[in-house]
Amino acid sequence: MPSSVMPMSNSGDGQKPPAAVSAVGLRKSYGDKLVLDGIDLRIPAGTVFALLGPNGAGKTTAVKILSTLITADGGQAQVGGHDLAADPQAVRAAIGVTGQFSAVDGLITGEENMLLMADLHHLSKQEGRRVAAELLERFDLVEAAKKPASTYSGGMKRRLDIAMTLVGNPRIIFLDEPTTGLDPRSRHNMWGIIRELVSDGVTVFLTTQYLDEADELADRIAVLNDGKIAAEGTADELKRLIPGGHVRLRFSDPDVYQAAAVALREVTRDDEALALQILCDGSQRELRVILDWLDAAEIEADELTVHTPDLDDVFFALTGGNNVPNQSKETVR
Partner 1 sequence: MSAFSLAVRDSNTMLRRNLLHARRYPSLTLNLLLTPIMLLLLFVYIFGDVMSAGIGGGGADRSDYIAYIVPGILLMTIGGTVVGTAVSVSNDMTEGIIARFRTMAIHRGSVLVGHVVGSVLQSVMSVVLVGAVAVAIGFRSTDATVLEWLAAFGLLVLFAMALTWIAVGMGLISPNAEAASNNALPMILLPLFSSAFIPIDTMPGWFQPIAEYQPFTPAIETLRGLLLGTGIGNNGWLTIAWSLGLTVLGYFWSTSKFNQDPK
Binding-site member from 37, 40, 105, 134 for partner 1 (CB under 8 A)? 105
107 is an interface residue for partner 1 by CB under 8 A: yes
Q: Count residues contacting partner 1 (CB under 8 A)?
A: 31
Distance CA 101, CA 88 (A): 22
> Of the candidates 78, 102, 179, 203, which one interacts with partner 1 according to CB under 8 A?
102
In terms of CB distance, is 37 or 105 closer to partner 1?
A: 105
Smallest gap from Cβ 1 to partner 1, in A, equals: 11
Residue closer to partner 1 by CB (options 122, 288) is: 122
Cβ at position 174, least distance to partner 1 in Å: 8
In this structure, the dihedral spanned by the alpha carbons of residues 288, 248, 57 and 187, taken in order and rounded to 10 degrees, is 60
DSSP assignment of 234-277, as one string?
A: -HHHHHHHS---EEEEE-SSHHHHHHHHHHH-SSEEETTTTEEE
103 touching partner 1, by CB under 8 A: yes
Question: Phi and psi dihedrals of 224, rounded to 5?
Answer: -105, 125
Q: Does 119 bind partner 1 (CB under 8 A)?
A: yes
Find the shortest distance in angstroms from Cβ 136 to partner 1. 17
Residues 43-72 that bind partner 1 (CB under 8 A): 67-71
Q: How many CB atoms lie within 10 A of CB 163?
A: 26
For partner 1, the closer CB: 55 or 199: 55
Residue 203 and residue 197: Cα distance in Å, rounded? 8
Binds partner 1 by CB under 8 A, chosen from 34, 85, 116, 287? 116
What is the H or E stretch that residue 329 is in?
A: helix 324-332
Rank residues 113 and 203 by Cβ distance to partner 1 and give the closer one. 113
Q: Which 125-154 positions form the footprint of partner 1 (CB under 8 A)?
A: 148
Q: Which of 112, 219, 226, 286 binds partner 1 (CB under 8 A)?
A: 112
Any long-range contacts for 296-299 (C-beta under 8 Å, 24+ apart)? Answer: 297/260, 297/263, 297/264, 299/249, 299/256, 299/259, 299/260, 299/263, 299/264
Q: Is the Cβ of residue 103 or residue 287 nearer to partner 1 in the bound state?
A: 103
Secondary structure percentages of the chain, helix, strand, coil, to 5: 40, 25, 35
CA 168 distance to own-chain centroid: 23
> Rounded to the nearest whole angstrom, what is the least distance from the CB of residue 120 to partner 1 in the complex?
5
Least distance (Å) between residue 197 CB and partner 1: 17
Amino acid identity of 178? Answer: P
Residues 74, 83, 101, 322: which binds partner 1 (CB under 8 A)? Answer: 101
Give the residue, chosen from 108, 259, 273, 297, that forms a contact with partner 1 under the rule CB under 8 A: 108
Q: Quick check: 323 and 62 in contact, CB under 8 A?
A: no
* 45, 164, 190, 317: residue in contact with partner 1 (rule CB under 8 A): 164
Name the nearest CA neighbour of 331 among 114, 315, 291. 315
d(CA 47, CA 111): 30
**Which positions from 166 through 195 interact with partner 1, judged by CB under 8 A?**
168
Cβ atoms of 21 and 49 within 8 Å: the answer is yes
Given the rule CB under 8 A, which of 108-116, 138-146, 221-229, 296-304 is the region that contacts partner 1? 108-116
Quick note: the x/- pattern for partner 1 over 80-99, rule CB under 8 A, is ---------xx-xx-x-x-x
Is residue 146 a contact partner of residue 152, using CB atoms and an 8 Å limit?
A: no
Q: Is 333 exposed, middle or buried (0-12, 13-18, 19+ CB in 10 A)?
A: exposed
Q: Which residues would be at the binding site for partner 1 (CB under 8 A)?
A: 2, 67-71, 89-90, 92-93, 95, 97, 99, 101-108, 112-113, 116, 119-122, 148, 164, 168
